[in-house]
Amino acid sequence: MAASFVAFQVHCSAQKPPISLNSGHFKTFLSSTIFKLPLRINVLKAIKKTSVKLVDAFVDSVFEFIDQPLLPSQSNFAPIDELKEAVLVTSIDGEIPDGFPEGVYLRIGPNPLFGGLKSTKSVFGRSSHMWVEGEGMVHALYLGKGVEGNWTVCYNNRHVETETFKLEKQRNKPSFLPAAEGDSPAIVCAYLLNMLRFGQVNKYLSNTNVIEHSGKLYTIAENHLPQEIDILTLKALDMWDVNGAWNLPFTSHPKKAPGTGELVTFGISATKPYAELGVISADGKELVHRVDLKLNRCPLSHEILVTQRYNVFLDYALTVDLGRLLLGGSLIKYDKEGYARMGVMHRYGDADSIQWFEVKPNCTFHFINSFEDGDEVVIRGCRALESVIPGPDQGMNKFEWFSRKFRPIESTEGSLDAMSEDQLVFPRPYEWRLNMRTGHAWQRGIPYVQGKHFLHRSRLCP
Ligand SMILES: [Fe+2]
């Protein structure tokens, strides 16, 4: 610091001889402008570097990463080796059907680094990754046909190399503390320490879906922006923020608008504004519409729906609740007694134009279809009555919890609402009909019994 001061004094004196070294003006000048800037930058950098090292040392000494148990029945969650280079598929069971198109089949899923999902234990308790966490890996099957009609099939896979992926890969050890489930003190610590060390709470997993828009391919997880990938090499390119116009997370299941080819998306946030909707131009270059939905809570809404004219979104009883986490509860809250709504808005409408339909609280993560039928907006989805994301109590015994919740259902005769607690997580086909003229919402379950469907219909609200 002293050396910098002297060097600066010499230079400054030469430039400004009329100003006395002892004058108040000069001291003010020094402290308020030129002297302060480079020194402040250097000091801040040094402090930041030292702080990060100190926090790293604290984490290494206090938190122990341990492997989550992987039972034989959970082998689907075990990571596989990364290839990065396409290989020829030499063994195919069965035959590729006649008329099957040439092209690329893509899928994506979590493929955790460092051998599998982790938990940590410390004086603050335990925290764990939940089952949807794990770095995204894209799998590609390239199907090409020769002149004689013989197929050539190649396979490749590659991790989605997001910023946080590269960061952990460089450190060569698990670094982000799990912040999804576990004891509240441990989760709060994970939040704070991840923020201090990496500037964000969670990793950019990009592991949930692969979409195409305007000829480009993107991987997505709903906690961050889409990541463009090269279809031939599967290498990650830039993140897609629609030329700087979209700064929110991006739903994993955006929808192509019928007719225009625009992409309808939305993003949720644990703080206000809780949910915003965006319409992106067909060429992917412009955000043509953006609206704050003015919700009073952060809904854990996984999908958005579109029809010819409308956007449909869900204000669920399943919510993200930071305050509850700090008070010792789960970050994810399912309020069976609370309200749940479906909102229908014209493609380019605003929050005041939304027509709301109250429906029975549910945990529908994925939908089958949505369309207009006369005055009705029809929505079909896979409805469950309990969250597929275990709370803190179930989180420690989640393998047992999932095995119980997803066991085969012996009978679904009668009302879906009469199911036992252990049957509530299992999603079933369901239909909602939202009448735009009368404001009525109808719903019906479509249980599957011994190869036959039967319907029951109940009126929800007048
Ligand atoms: Fe999904």
Beta bridge partners of 136: 110
Residues 227, 206 contacting (CB under 8 angstroms):
yes
Q: What distance in angstroms lies between residue 220's CA and the mean position of ligand 1's atoms?
A: 10
pLDDT for 409 equals: 57
Q: How far apart are CA 66 and CA 177, in angstroms?
A: 11
Query: What angle (nearest 5°) sits at the alpha carbon of residue 18, between those of residues 17 and 23?
Result: 110
Residues 416, 384 contacting (CB under 8 angstroms):
no
Q: What distance in angstroms lies between residue 93's CA and the mean position of ligand 1's atoms?
A: 29
Q: What distance in angstroms lies between residue 268's CA and the mean position of ligand 1's atoms?
A: 15
Q: What distance in angstroms lies between residue 51's CA and the mean position of ligand 1's atoms?
A: 38
Lookup: tokens for 262: 């625009």
Residues 179, 187 contacting (CB under 8 angstroms):
yes
Q: How far apart are CA 28 and CA 20, in angstroms?
A: 12
Domain-by-domain residue ranges, the chain? 2-34, 65-92+100-240, 247-462
Q: What distance in angstroms lies between residue 450's CA and the mean position of ligand 1's atoms?
A: 27
pLDDT for 455 equals: 40
Q: How many CB atoms lie within 10 A of CB 296?
A: 10
Q: What distance in angstroms lies between residue 221's CA and the mean position of ligand 1's atoms?
A: 9
Q: What distance in angstroms lies between residue 45's CA and the mean position of ligand 1's atoms?
A: 41
Q: What distance in angstroms lies between residue 198's CA and the mean position of ligand 1's atoms?
A: 27
List, for the chain, all residue ranges whose pLDDT scores fall below the cut of 70: 1-41, 71-74, 76, 324-330, 389-399, 406-422, 447-462
Q: Reading across the β-sheet that carries 456-461, which strands appear in turn? A: 366-373, 376-383, 428-435, 441-445, 456-461
Q: What region does 448 belong to: left with phi over 0, alpha with psi -120 to 50, or beta?
A: beta
Tell me whether residue 253 is annotated as binding: yes
Q: What distance in angstroms lies between residue 445's CA and the mean position of ligand 1's atoms?
A: 21
pLDDT for 2 equals: 32
Q: What distance in angstroms lies between residue 46's CA and the mean position of ligand 1's atoms?
A: 43
DSSP readout, 382-400? Answer: EE-SS-SS--HHHHTTHHH
Tell me whether residue 289 is annotated as binding: no
Q: What distance in angstroms lies between residue 30's CA and the mean position of ligand 1's atoms?
A: 57
Q: What distance in angstroms lies between residue 302's CA and the mean position of ligand 1's atoms?
A: 6
pLDDT for 393 equals: 54
Beta bridge partners of 159: 137
Q: What distance in angstroms lies between residue 130's CA and the mean position of ligand 1's atoms?
A: 15
> SS3 sequence, 211-231?
EEECCEEEEECCCCCCEEECC
From the number of C-beta atoms within 10 Å of its C-beta (0-12, 13-18, 19+), residue 76 rates as: exposed
Helix (H) / strand (E) element for 52: namely: helix 36-62
Residues 169, 147 contacting (CB under 8 angstroms):
no
Q: What distance in angstroms lies between residue 303's CA and the mean position of ligand 1's atoms?
A: 7
Q: How far apart are CA 298 and CA 321, in angstroms?
A: 7
Q: What distance in angstroms lies between residue 387's CA and the mean position of ligand 1's atoms?
A: 14
